[in-house]
Chain A
Amino acid sequence: MPADSAALIIQGSYFLTAVLFIIGLKRMSSPVSARSGILWAGAGMLVATLVTFLYPGLSNYTLILPAMLVGAALAWWSGKRVAMTDMPQMIALYNGMGGGAAAAIAAVELYGGDAQGYAGSALAVAGGLIGAVSFAGSAIAFGKLQGLIKRSLRFRGQQILNLLLLLAALGCGTVLAAHLDASPALVSALFVLALVLGLTMTLPIGGADMPVVISLYNALTGLAVGFEGFVLNNAAMIIAGTVVGSAGTLLTQLMARAMNRSLGNVLFSGFGDTGAAATGTVSGSLKPIDAADVGVMMAFAQKVIIVPGYGMAVAQAQHKIWELCQLLIERGVTVRFAIHPVAGRMPGHMNVLLAEAGVPYDLIADLEEINAEFETADVALIIGANDVVNPVARTDKSSPIYGMPILNADKAKNVIVIKRGQGAGFSGIENALFYLDNTRMLYGDAQKVAAELIQAVKAVG
């Protein structure tokens, strides 16, 4: 095929891809059309990938094809296999791979000295730097959520070290972009510094903040892809990368706002395991209760509000919980689900799980809708949620979660907490709710406990 017509086909296809991506994302932002959204975007990706094989002067097919097939097969296999509860870390992982790919493109361009002009090399450097940070940071986020990295590494002068790393990386980048020196050693230094920065930036961030961090790295990867798109003169990459960059930034802000924290706070204050100091302020005792008693209590209640959290996700209890709710509804009990914006490990995490179990939308309420209703509820059933119902956030100015909007579960007449053990929540902060006079603890795996509750409600007859 002549180079001219190939170029025309490629440009036209990339244009089509950009349109399909934007339609796909638009459709994904409404529950009704969301499912078709990914198909539109997927079609766009397929078109772009296939047509790229026609790229004029493209060689190394024997390397491209196997690399593509191996990467795709591994991702397909892991993506199909992973449990719904582990989705957040998989997003982190795949996002990190995208960042790494953007950094790899930058590395090829910079080592080969292919970037055109000052603007080209500056964008290659910027995309490579951001991509490498996103790659290393996402890998840490994956490790933390997967439980591979249990501790949050913190030491004195950490912020200063991060700042120095950033400045050093920017220094290398400036020298490269200004064409003062293009030695491979300097390029290598840039990437090593960026990778280390990604590690040291993410290691101190506590697990509770991970959703925001993953979303931020998602936006950064988008930006890096957009920058490399400029370097390669590839409109599809520029548009897709930039759209994700700006959409991801907005999404990150929405998430941070839902937790009443600023992005700077998330990145630089390091909270997550620091709660040990706050334990002294809690008084009272933990009062256990039997599933049978809870079953009776709920069977004769007027209104029950369910507050699901990460514990429900871990135990895969959503089906059993919905079964329990259906029994209660048959008995004439009003049942509602209260979803905190950051319940679980990601905004919307609980909604996805409840949707999987078949819970209708109209039973699910978010924080603003439901908070006034707790006062009229007979039972608030907390399933593996912790920080999002901790009244300390309203009262204790010294607490790291002070000011975070919480579900007012403590206002219900009876609070039942289903919990696996006596440990503190993901943030490490002791939960004052558990010690209140109207709170009873129901220990056990959420799925098993839900099954016991079903039996108990059935036994009431």
Chain B
Amino acid sequence: MTGMVALYIFMLAAFTGYEVISRVPVILHTPLMSGSNFVHGIVLVGAMVALGAARTPLEKVIGVIGVLLAAGNAVGGYVVTERMLEMFKASGARRKPPGTH
């Protein structure tokens, strides 16, 4: 990938992110922040590659920390987002709150 192509990818991705979010209702701000928090968990693949190429003990230690943190970002981000979005059920499928009649 040449520098110029990378720059184009960067530019297009930036506009994509802006477009995807620009008309989002307030009720989804928190889930969406959580969802985008999950998406940058992709740092996991980078951390895997960095640790996979680590040679010295120092690099290995930092690499292990990186993979550990990145896995936490990805998995934690997923679990929290899923739990939040779980509540956005269609109105027909709503469970009744306890104690109603």
Contact = CB atoms under 8 A, between A and B. Distances in A.
B40 A225 contact: yes
Contact of A244 (B17, B22, B68, B82): B17
B26 A25 contact: no
Contacts of B36: 25, 218, 222, 243-244, 247-248, 251
A235 B2 CA distance: 12
A58 interface: yes
A28 B32 contact: yes
B26 A78 contact: no
B32 to A, nearest CB: 5
Interface centre among B13, B39, B46, B63 (most CB of A within 10 A): B39
Given A63-B63, A243-B20, A79 B80 contact: yes
A326 B86 contact: no
A60 B55 CA distance: 9
Interface in A232-247: 232-247
A63 B51 contact: yes
A101 to B, nearest CB: 4
Which 4 residue pairs are nearest across A and B when measured between Cβ atoms? A104-B66, A79-B79, A71-B71, A75-B76
Contacts of B15: 246
Interface in B59-100: 59-60, 62-91, 94-100
Contacts of A59: 52-53
A84 B84 CA distance: 8
Given A98-B41, A105-B66, A26 B73 contact: no
Interface of A: 14, 17, 21-22, 24-26, 28-32, 34-35, 37-38, 41-42, 45, 48-49, 52-53, 55, 57-61, 63-64, 67-72, 74-76, 78-80, 82, 84, 87-88, 90-91, 93-95, 97-98, 100-102, 104-105, 107-109, 111-112, 114, 119, 184, 214-215, 218, 221-222, 225-226, 228-230, 232-248, 250-251, 254-255, 258, 319, 322-323, 326, 339, 341, 346-349, 351-352, 355-358, 360-361, 364, 366
Contacts of A38: 35, 38, 78, 81-82, 85
B88 A366 contact: no
Nearest to B48: A52
B42 A101 contact: no
Contacts of B80: 79, 82, 87, 90-91, 94
B43 A225 contact: yes
Contacts of B26: 258, 339, 341, 347-348, 351, 366
Nearest to A88: B30
A410 to B, nearest CB: 23
B74 A91 contact: no
Given A94-B76, A94-B80, A351-B26, A358 B97 contact: yes
For the residues of B in contact with A, the DSSP-based class is helix
Sorting the interface of chain B by its residue count into under 10, 10 to 19, 20 to 34 or 35 or more gives 35 or more
Interface centre among B75, B76, B90 (most CB of A within 10 A): B76
B85 A91 contact: no
Contacts of A244: 17, 36-37, 39-40
A70 B78 contact: no
30 contacts: A22-B20, A31-B88, A34-B85, A41-B38, A45-B41, A57-B52, A71-B67, A71-B75, A75-B71, A76-B75, A79-B76, A82-B80, A94-B41, A94-B76, A94-B80, A95-B40, A102-B46, A104-B63, A105-B47, A112-B56, A112-B59, A232-B50, A238-B13, A240-B42, A242-B10, A244-B17, A339-B26, A347-B30, A352-B27, A356-B87
A359 to B, nearest CB: 9
Given A30-B25, A31-B25, 5 more contacts: A24-B35, A42-B82, A107-B66, A112-B55, A341-B26
A273 to B, nearest CB: 24
A258 B29 CA distance: 12
Contact of B45 (A49, A111, A230): A49
Contacts of B65: 67, 100, 104
A71 B10 CA distance: 29
A60 B37 contact: no
Given A52-B49, A347-B30, A355 B87 contact: yes
Contacts of B70: 71, 97-98, 101
Contacts of A87: 30, 34, 80, 83-84
A63 B64 contact: yes
Interface centre among A97, A258, A349 (most CB of B within 10 A): A97
